[in-house]
């Protein structure tokens, strides 16, 4: 008897939940992940020391 | 008399031996002056460029081309050592140049390809790929 009430309650809850409008908004613009830029930036940060070294060692062309 | 000639010759030989390496370490004065005058400028790609509209002598053009050829060589060898592209190595150097080596009054070409002049009040437009 008790479990019946529980099931009924659950069912009612499910019904109510199903009626609540869930708003899913599509994004206005597609999500753009520019991997190219990220990789580049990471590489360039890694090359900072090399860049400084090149400038110091080749002062005649910079 | 003979001794002074000998001394002079020794001094000349000494000067010649040391003058060339010292000169090689300094930037080309013709190019430096052209840079200060706004005829040429640093570009976001790591090379020197000619400012549009500026009258560039054949001598200056040759010197700038020579510098760019040598820069490419330097970028290429270091890029190979670090397993990156030549463009990336060149861009990394451009970041260093743009964040501290462009003097007030000098012209430079930003990432979008537009020529700008560094003024006392305005900071240099550092390329976006440089990071923070």
- The count of structural domains within chain A is 1
Residue at A58 is within a domain:
yes
Degrees to nearest 5, angle at CA A46 with A32 and B108: 75
Residue at B92 is within a domain:
yes
Residue at B12 is within a domain:
no
Helix (H) or strand (E) segment spanning residue B62: helix B58-82
ipTM computed for the complex: 0.79
Residue at B10 is within a domain:
no
Residue at B67 is within a domain:
yes
Residue at A3 is within a domain:
no
Cβ under 8 Å to B: A residues 38-57:
40-41, 43-48, 50-52, 54-55
Q: B48 is in which domain, residue-wise?
A: 29-130
pLDDT of B37 reads 96
pTM of the shown model: 0.69
- From B57's Cα to the closest Cα of chain A, the distance in A is 19
pLDDT of A8 reads 56
State the average pLDDT for chain A: 74
pLDDT of B27 reads 81
- The count of structural domains within chain B is 1
CA nearest A45: which of B8, B121, B66, B95? B95
Residue at A38 is within a domain:
yes
Rounded to the nearest 5°, which phi and psi values hold at A50?
-60, -40
* Chain B partners within 8 Å of A46 (Cβ): 82
Q: A47 is in which domain, residue-wise?
A: 33-62
Using the Cβ of A31 and the Cβ atoms of chain B, whether some distance falls under 8 Å is answered with: no
pLDDT of B40 reads 98
Rounded to whole angstroms, how far apart are CA atoms B57 and B126? 29
pLDDT of B5 reads 57
Residue at A61 is within a domain:
yes
């Amino acid at each position: 008897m008790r479990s019946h009430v529980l099931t009924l309650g659950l069912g009612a809850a499910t019904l109510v939940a199903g009626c609540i409008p869930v708003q899913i908004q599509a994004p206005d613009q597609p999500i753009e992940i520019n991997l190219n830029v990220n990789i580049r930036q990471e590489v360039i940060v890694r090359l900072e020391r090399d860049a400084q070294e090149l400038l110091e060692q080749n002062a005649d062309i910079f | 008399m003979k001794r002074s000639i000998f001394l002079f010759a020794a001094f000349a030989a000494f000067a010649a031996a040391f003058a060339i390496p010292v000169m090689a370490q300094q930037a080309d004065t013709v190019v430096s002056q052209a840079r200060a005058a706004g005829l040429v400028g640093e570009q976001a790609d790591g090379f020197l460029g000619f400012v549009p509209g500026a009258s560039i002598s054949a001598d200056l053009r040759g010197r700038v081309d020579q510098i760019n050829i040598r820069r490419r060589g330097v970028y290429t060898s270091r890029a190979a050592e670090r397993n990156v592209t030549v463009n990336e190595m060149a861009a990394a150097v451009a970041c260093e140049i743009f964040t501290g080596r462009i003097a007030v009054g000098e012209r430079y070409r930003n990432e979008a390809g537009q020529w700008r002049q560094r003024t006392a009040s305005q900071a240099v437009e550092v390329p976006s790929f440089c990071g923070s």
